[in-house]
Structure 1
Amino acid sequence: MPRQIFQLKMTLVGVRPTVWRRVLVPAGYTLDRLHRVVQYAMGWRDCHLHSFDIDAVQYGEPDPDGELAFEDELDVRLDAVLGKGSRFSYLYDFGDWWEHDLVVEDALTADPDERYPVCLDGERACPPESVGGPSAYRALLVALADPTAFADPGYAALRDWAGPTFDPSWFDAPRTSTLLRRLT
């Protein structure tokens, strides 16, 4: 039986202009592997907690202290809980609260000559890690668009946090695919 591939679109919620990615992933992946796909595709560094919400069920890494009631993401395959048209969310960094809207746009038969996962397309760079959430990222974008804003110490601190080479408009799908292939 040929492998099934899901075409997923992931969009960062609360950020304008929109930051999004379109990826192809094996439908047999576990949610744990999808977590790593989201991390690589979006540009996060996997420094914080995360969770998935699928049909009002929370999935993530089990909490040894029992404070977070997650179903174990290692035990759940995508094709067991998702199908074409499914919409679900991925939350990264419970402090900054980066919510991602994910949609299964299509279910395809795997191309035997292709290595998965693959990033097909996307737009804009992921916000810098731990920048402070969507509102702080908006402030960073304002500061980047107006060089005179750096006279304000708050804006200057944001720019320092982002680093001198951060370009919010940058995204490279082929480079992201190369990173994703390291997962296999």
Structure 2
Amino acid sequence: MTAKTKIFRIEIVLVDVAPLVRRVVEVPGEMSLAMLHAVVQEAMGWEHAHLHEFGVGGVRYGMPDPGWDAGVADESRTKLFRLVAAGDRMDYVYDFGDGWEHALRVEDVVDAEPGVRYPRCVDGQGACPPEDVGGVPGYQLFLETLADPAHPDHDDQTAWWGGDRFDAASFDLAAADRALEGLAWAPLAAVKS
């Protein structure tokens, strides 16, 4: 990445989930969709435990399986800046069983700030649902069950989760940003514009 690399500010929203689960990340436009997948996983709080797929302009991108032609373009060979611009939207599905749909919108494309580490998380709200909770309907039931000690499944859900506390509205910006540190790139300090 150089100082001339453009930075894409992307809002990520978990579709149909209440309370709202949202992140805003800034990523280099030269990033592949495979790396953007890693950013979404880390910023949202997912565990990289399931398959995923992007949808952009009617084309599906993911990890092609040579033994099965599913019509998926190779995300590792596709750069973000070649697909989208400010105002454009993408879809991202994680865990085909639970079907977590994410709406991604490019809020802006800006110059890289000298000395700033990218990708970074700059805003967000709401806790990521637990893995394998059963998608949107399972998550809503999970929240209702934990909140009601008289619910017939309360003890089972509490045992599965490891407690009866889950704050769906919580979000820790510093923790979400720290989760991206392992993916970090920084503009080269020696490059002058």
TM-score range, shorter chain: over 0.9
Provide the C-alpha distance between the structure 2 equivalents of 1:128 and 1:65, rounded to a whole number of angstroms. 31
Shift of 1:67: 4.5
**Which residue of structure 1 aligns with residue 140 of structure 2?**
138
Q: Is the 8 A contact 2:28 2:119 kept in 1?
A: yes
Unaligned runs of 5+ in 1: none
Q: Is the 8 A contact 2:146 2:157 kept in 1?
A: no
Provide the C-alpha distance between the structure 1 equivalents of 2:127 and 2:80, rounded to a whole number of angstroms. 26
The SS at the match of 2:183 is coil
Shift of 1:11: 0.4
**Which residue of structure 2 aligns with residue 104 of structure 1?**
106
Provide the C-alpha distance between the structure 2 equivalents of 1:2 and 1:133, rounded to a whole number of angstroms. 40
Shift of 1:71: 0.2
The SS at the match of 1:139 is helix
Q: Which has the larger radius of gyration?
A: 2
Q: How does 1:62-141 map to 2 (within 5 A)?
A: 62-141=64-143
Q: How does 1:7-18 map to 2 (within 5 A)?
A: 7-18=9-20
Q: Which letter maps to 1:14?
A: D
Provide the C-alpha distance between the structure 2 equivalents of 1:125 and 1:90, rounded to a whole number of angstroms. 18
Q: How many residues end up aligned between the 2 structures?
A: 181
Q: Is the 8 A contact 2:14 2:103 kept in 1?
A: yes
Shift of 1:146: 2.3
The SS at the match of 1:107 is strand
Q: Measured at CA, do residues 176 and 115 of structure 1 come closer, stay the same or move farther in structure 2, by a change above 3 Å?
A: same
Shift of 1:52: 0.1
Provide the C-alpha distance between the structure 2 equivalents of 1:156 and 1:11, rounded to a whole number of angstroms. 31
Provide the C-alpha distance between the structure 2 equivalents of 1:57 and 1:131, rounded to a whole number of angstroms. 29
How does the TM-score come out when normalised to structure 2?
0.89
**Which residue of structure 1 aligns with residue 173 of structure 2?**
173
Provide the C-alpha distance between the structure 2 equivalents of 1:132 and 1:67, rounded to a whole number of angstroms. 28
Shift of 1:114: 0.6
Q: Which letter maps to 2:62?
A: G
Provide the C-alpha distance between the structure 2 equivalents of 1:29 and 1:63, rounded to a whole number of angstroms. 22
How does the TM-score come out when normalised to structure 1?
0.93
Percent of residue pairs identical: 44
Provide the C-alpha distance between the structure 2 equivalents of 1:123 and 1:163, rounded to a whole number of angstroms. 23
Unaligned runs of 5+ in 2: 185-193
Provide the C-alpha distance between the structure 2 equivalents of 1:162 and 1:99, rounded to a whole number of angstroms. 22
